[in-house]
Amino acid sequence: MSVTVWYESVLQRYVAYLADGRGFSPNTVKAYETDLRDILQFAAEKKVADFNGLSLEVIRDWLWQLSEVGIAKSSIARKNSAIRSFTAWCFKNSFISSDPGLRLRSPKLSKTLPKVVSRSSLKVIFEKLETAAAKNEPQAIRDLLLIELLYASGARVSEVVGLNLEDVDYSRKVLRVMGKGSKQRMVPYGEPAADALDRWIRLGRQALATETSPPALFLNSRGKRVGVRQVYGLVAALTAQTQTGVAGPHALRHSAATHLLDGGADLRAVQELLGHASLGTTQIYTHVSIDRLKSSYEQAHPRA
């Protein structure tokens, strides 16, 4: 059965709704569309001919098949969320007579603490970056600023590479970032990041910019906006050379939050900095800090 027989036009309407009506990021929209195409093709192979045939049993069979091939629980949870959102929208728009997603339960996820780059590892990383940037090579100056801003602001990698020149308030040392759901927020950065930013604007960016360059804060060697994958590669290469081991840009966000809480920052202030909609999301970092406290206590207290 052709996969376009019964669902293509509706799926495209839903994808447009996610992008325009919900304000989801392009990456999130793409992930949802990929998951939905997967289950709808699965349903088509099961001889489902219309949306009313997208039953709870079909959805559960699809999820079970994914679990059998070793898909991570976190990925299954996301796929579960995608199909529940889709069936709810279909029901609201009268494409189905009942919503099977209402009876679909999300898999329980084991709570894992986020990876944190230690202060000693960060010291090694910044010393390496500073040494390279001292040669005034544009890419090295840019890389130093990328890591400085990721750690200083606690912003997501997509938010940092999405920055434009106009999003920087130099006098107040704050960045205007575009978070999830197209929500803007202001995040501060400190003196080391300010120094790296000044060096990048004066010496680095203008060396890489071309007549067709976008107004992006960060440019690659071709004068285009730096991509998320490039930053992932940079952070992974830097952390691989430390005791922390290979980690991605999100580890710097985790580190910023954890080190702020270790230093006595208010939990709600950290929530605002990170752009979390729920305080519960931010609270995971308190567990990281408590674990560190317990470890220090057990090592240092004579009656631990």
Q: What is the DSSP string of 78-146?
A: HHHHHHHHHHHHHHHTTSSSS-GGGGPPPPPPP--PPP---HHHHHHHHHHHHHHHTTT-HHHHHHHHH
Helix (H) or strand (E) run with residue 188 in it: strand 184-188
Give the model confidence (pLDDT) of 40-91 as tens digits.
Answer: 999 988 889 888 899 999 999 998 888 877 787 888 888 999 999 999 999 9
Residue with tokens 């997509």: 158
Enumerate the domain spans of the chain. Answer: 8-103, 119-300
Place domain 119-300 in its CATH homologous superfamily. Intergrase catalytic core (1.10.443.10)
Pairwise CA distance, residues 228 & 200, whole Å: 19
pLDDT number for residue 25: 83
pLDDT number for residue 252: 94
Pairwise CA distance, residues 225 & 185, whole Å: 21
**Greater confidence, 7 or 106?**
7
Contact status, residue 278 vs residue 291, Cβ threshold 8 Å = no
Say whether pLDDT at 170 is over 90.
yes
Pairwise CA distance, residues 261 & 46, whole Å: 51
pLDDT number for residue 1: 37
Say whether pLDDT at 296 is over 70.
no
For the chain, what is the radius of gyration of the CA atoms?
23
pLDDT number for residue 262: 80
Long-range residue pairs from 215-222, CB within 8 A, at least 24 positions apart, any chain: 215/164, 215/165, 215/166, 216/161, 216/163, 216/164, 216/165, 217/163, 217/164, 217/165, 217/167, 217/168, 218/142, 218/145, 218/146, 218/160, 218/161, 218/163, 219/142, 221/139
Pairwise CA distance, residues 251 & 59, whole Å: 34
Q: What is the mean pLDDT of the chain?
A: 87
Amino acid of residue 236: A
Options 3.30.499.10, 3.40.50.970, 1.20.120.1770, 1.10.150.130; CATH for 8-103 is: 1.10.150.130
CA atoms within 13 A on the CB side of 6: 17
Give the model confidence (pLDDT) of 85-113 as tens digits.
Answer: 999 999 999 999 999 999 888 766 555 66
pLDDT number for residue 2: 43
Write out the two tokens for 43: 């349903």
- Mean pLDDT over residues 168-186, rounded? 89
Please report, rounded to a whole number, the percentage of residues in the chain having pLDDT higher than 70: 88
Pairwise CA distance, residues 284 & 292, whole Å: 13
Q: Which residues are known catalytic residues?
A: 156, 180, 250, 253, 276, 285
pLDDT number for residue 13: 94
**What is the model's pTM?**
0.64
Pairwise CA distance, residues 226 & 247, whole Å: 19
Say whether pLDDT at 237 is over 60.
yes
Say whether pLDDT at 286 is over 80.
no
